[in-house]
Amino acid sequence: MPDPQARSSWRLPALLALVIALPLGILTAYKAGSWFDKITNTSAFGLLALPGFVLGLILIYFLGVKAKVLPVSDPSGVPLTTVHFQLSGSNPWTTM
C-alpha cells in the first residue's frame, strides 16, 4: 500500500506552481509583445531547458550555502559551511 504522505506530497508544489504560473500567464497574455512578455517567456523556456539535477545543484548552493535557509551536509552527515569544486586529475586543455 502506498504511503499516504508520499501520495499527497504533490499537492503543495502543484498549488505553488498554480499560484505563480497562472497570474504570470494571464499577465503575459495581456501584455503580449511587451518587454515583460519577452522576459517571462525567455525565463520560462530557459528553466524548462535546464536539467533537474543542474537546477537542484543551483538551489542547494543558493538556498543552502549562501542564504543558509536549508541545511547542507555531505553523505556522512557532516554539515558543510563552504562548497569546494575540485577537478580530479590534470586539466585536459593543457595536455593537448
List pLDDT tens digits, range 28-78: 999 999 999 999 999 999 989 999 888 888 888 888 888 888 888 766 776
Global confidence as pTM:
0.54
Task: Report d(CA 44, CA 27) in Å as an integer.
Answer: 14
User: CA quadruple 18, 19, 20, 21: dihedral positive or negative?
Assistant: positive
**pLDDT for residue 36:** 94
**pLDDT for residue 29:** 94
Length of the chain measured in residues = 96
Task: Report d(CA 35, CA 40) in Å as an integer.
Answer: 8
